[in-house]
Structure 1
Amino acid sequence: MIDHVHDLRSVREATDRLLTAAAKLDNAALAEESRLPGWTRGHILAHLARNADALVNVFEGRPMYESGDARDADIERDCDRPLVEQLEDLRNSAARWEAVAERPQDWTRVVELRGGVTDVAARVPFRRLIEVELHHVDLNIGYELADLSEDFTDRETAFLADRWSGRPEVPPVTLRTTTGKTWHTGGTQGTPVVVEGPADELLGWLAGRGQRGAHLAVLAGDGLPALPPL
C-alpha cells in the first residue's frame, strides 16, 4: 500500500539529513568527483535541486523537463556554484516541492514523468525519496547503502526488481537476502540465476552502486548478469 503522507515525511527527513551532511563540506570538496562517473558533488546537489523543481512541474501539469538537453544544461549551469548557494537552492527547491505536494489533491491520478514514464501521484514522493537517498550515497561523504533504512531498502529493491522484470536481455533472477527475503526480476529467457547476500548488496547490484554485486553469492545459474543502465 502506498502511503504518500509517510513518504513525504521521509523525504523531509532525508533532505534534512543530506543538507546537514553536505554543510560540512567546503567549496573544494564540492568540486571533487562523486561516485557517479563524470559528476562532481556539485553536479549531484544541482541535480537534486532541479529535480525538486521538475516534480513541481509534474504536479502542476507541465512537462517534467523542457527536454533532456535542457535538464543537462541546467545541471551544468549550476554545478560550479559555491557551497552556500548550492545548499540554499536545494533547501528552497525542496520547500517548493513540499508546498505543492501538501496541497489537497487527487493522489490516485496518473502523472507523467521524464521520458513518457507515468505513475500514480501517490508514488511520486517515494520517487523523490529515492533521488535524495541514493544521491546522498553518491556524494561519497560517509553515507552508505548500509545506512539506508530497512524499509527504504526493501521498497527500493522491490521497485527496481519490478523495473527489470520482463526485460529480455536479463535472465530470470531470484534475489534472496541472508534473512530470507526474496524478490524476482528479469525476463523469461536464459538460465535462471539465484543470488544471495545482504540487502544493501542486493540493492547495490540493482541500482548500479556500491560493490555492484561483487560480494553476492551466486547459488545457481551462469553468474551475475549485467543490468541495463538506469
Structure 2
Amino acid sequence: MIDHAHDLAAVHKATERLLASVGTLDNASVNEPSRLPGWTRGHVLAHLARNAEALTNALEARPMYASDGARDADIEQGAARPVDVHLADLRESAAGLRAAAEAPADWSRTVELRNGVTDSASRIPFRRWIELELHHVDLGVGYELEDLPADFTEREIDFLTDRFDGNPGVPPTRITDGVRSWRTGREGEPEVTVTGAPAELVGWLAGRRDGSALTAEGGPLPAPPAL
C-alpha cells in the first residue's frame, strides 16, 4: 500500500542527503563525468532540479515538460553552472514540489506523466524518491547502492519487477535475496532464478551494475530493459 505521507518524509530526507553531498563539491568536480554515460555531475544535478519541477507540474495538472526537446535543452543548458547555483536550484525546486504536495488534494486522483503514462498521485512522492536515491549514486561522490535505505531498496525491487512483468524481452525470472522473492518477465518455463544481495539486485534491475555479483540458475542472467 502506498503511503504518500511516509514517502514525502523520505523525499525530504533524501533531498537533505543529496544537498550535503553536493555541498562537498567544487566547480571543477561538478563538471567531471558522472556514472551516467555522456553526463557530467552537473547534468545529473540539473536533471534532478528539473524533475522536481516536472513532478510539481504533474501534481498541479500541467504537462511535466513543454516537450522532450525542451527537457533535454534545459538539462544541457544548466549542466555547467557553478555548484552554488546548482545548490540553490535544487533547494528551490525541491521546496516547490514540497509545497505542491502539502496542498490539500485528492491523492487517489490520476495524474499524467511523460509519454502518455498515467499514475496515481499517491505514487508521485515515491517516483521522486527513486530519482533522488539513484541519481545520488550516479554522482559518484561516495554514496553507493549499499547506502540506500533498506525500505527503499525493497520497494524499488518491487517497482522494477512489476515494471518488467510481462515484458516479452525478459525471460520468466524469479529474483531472491535469500529471504524475499519476486517474479518478473514473461510467462512460461523454464524460469531463471537470480540470487544476490539487495543492493546488487536493485543495481542490476536499474542498470547501475552488470550483475556480475549475482548468480543465475536455470539459464543465463537476463538483461533488464533500459529504464
Same fold (TM over 0.5): yes
1:189 CA drift (Å): 4.7
1:10 CA drift (Å): 0.5
Which structure 2 residue ranges, 5 or more long, are not aligned?
Answer: none
Secondary structure of the structure 1 residue equivalent to 2:100: helix
- Look up the match of 2:215: 217
Structure 1 residues 54-80: Cα deviation after superposition (integer angstroms, max 9, x where no partner): 011101111111111111000001000
Number of aligned positions between the proteins: 227
CA contact (8 A) 1:168 1:189 kept: no
Calculate the TM-score normalised by the size of structure 1: 0.97
Partners of 1:53 and 1:150 lie apart in 2 by 27
- Look up the match of 1:64: 64
- Look up the match of 2:194: 195
1:213 CA drift (Å): 1.2
CA contact (8 A) 1:30 1:83 kept: yes
Partners of 1:135 and 1:189 lie apart in 2 by 34
Secondary structure of the structure 1 residue equivalent to 2:50: helix
Partners of 1:214 and 1:171 lie apart in 2 by 18
1:164 aligns with 2:180: no
Percent identity for Structure 1 against Structure 2: 59
Partners of 1:221 and 1:26 lie apart in 2 by 48
1:165 CA drift (Å): 0.4
Secondary structure of the structure 2 residue equivalent to 1:35: coil
Q: CA RMSD in A?
A: 0.9
1:136 aligns with 2:136: yes
CA contact (8 A) 1:31 1:42 kept: yes
Secondary structure of the structure 2 residue equivalent to 1:213: coil
- Look up the match of 2:183: 184
State the 4+ residue runs in structure 1 displaced beyond 6 angstroms.
none
Structure 1 residues 117-151: Cα deviation after superposition (integer angstroms, max 9, x where no partner): 11100010000000001000000000000101110
1:191 CA drift (Å): 3.4
Partners of 1:182 and 1:206 lie apart in 2 by 14
For 1:183, the aligned partner's letter is W
- Look up the match of 2:223: 226
